[in-house]
Structure 1
């Protein structure tokens, strides 16, 4: 049994949280993670309206009686197209127990969420932002290292270092993200001071994941050298699979392409179409270096139970032997 402040606060069996995984984080997938003992998460960004998100929350509740969360990836700046307030309203109205925020600071929504009893996890790419998140009152913070799929921030700091430092810098629980796929990764994160882990890349290669089989096969056959950082020129670095689209983006960035020009390749609309049609070359796809450790497509339950079993065996036998 692995018990931390994270399992206690979120009322989950294992300290394993599913990443936001836009376009993939649907009700069926999140429910599978929650039913396996972790915390499943549905992505608000998939839904064009508050009502659509409420319907997805309802579907999730039909599929699991366990806690689950909603990921709200907020735009860097507030504007007329910002759906964040509506998403927060949906979370509160539906009495969702956990929300994961990312992007800009969630400080404007902390009071309402806390009053509704919602636990708040904020995802950050650096220790300084972890400190700010703790100061404004979030319940826990996810720190993601350079290895992670998606957006690792601008500092290029690896997971081991950022988790070690963040866990010393804040009093709230720290979740580790980036490069973690198995029991070794979980045990390493716990030893560095984290009290749970966030997995995205590992969950892509699962039977319940709705990505096209071509993407899953790419994951199990890829190596840790098969990802690349793009979008640095627009100060939104993203780790993606090495493919035709990623190299095209890099070339355009070298020649000073604008965000509007890059959107022809990196937009969510393009990515969603490719993800479900199995086009692994002509859109960018967020994926972490942990692909080098993934060798098979399993059920979500087998992934979660395998991580816990391996971590427990390593602790009881290998480390016990090492320390006499």
Structure 2
């Protein structure tokens, strides 16, 4: 019985240590998510402004630009998957990886070859374990994304798009990332980045908004040449910021659940320890009473 008590004490101590760790990680994630949400809010106005400018130029200028032209045949598609460098975030990485793999299967069913570009160590490890080839990888900058990483990703994607599917490049680019909805909800989202889909013009029309009339100086094609790389960088950086905020929220939720589970384990093991101790005390009393009765009967 004493050995059983020691086992329960060790389990209680282990659960208490785990709770301290998960509670600390929960608090760290809670502090980081506020900064991540602040960065998303700060970057959103610029991203919206660039999107509106590109949409207006592409919609009202009728310029046949390589980045807005729909190719006749799409041979090769790029799928950029944004994961995290660290785990302990619940289903954060598994759901975005599943979304990316399902998108790749859909593209292959349409007769397109898929080229993967991976952001985050979890995506790199997932593809390495399954021996799935990837074109390029970026790691170490997912918790607090820097704009220079978005520039590197954008430069690589633009270079591949300009080469085209015939020359070991790509004909279209898709981004797959977790979008931050709320502290409890992070949803995987896939967006086609190139060729440019002018979605905001349709949204503006549905909202009865009116685009401003632009006069282009120099010509519209030169304006698009300057705007589109900035637009792509802003979209990639926004995806990184959304993924970072979603990851911290998922970590906080997962660590809170782990802390609650540790509390439940402590309660259960404490009850079992008390029952074992009570049984040990009862057995000792029974042995004392039995010994006393044996002495009394022998006299």
TM score, norm. by length of structure 2: 0.25
Please identify which structure carries the higher helix content. Answer: 2
- Larger RCO (CA under 8 A, 6+ residues apart): 2
TM score, norm. by length of structure 1: 0.24
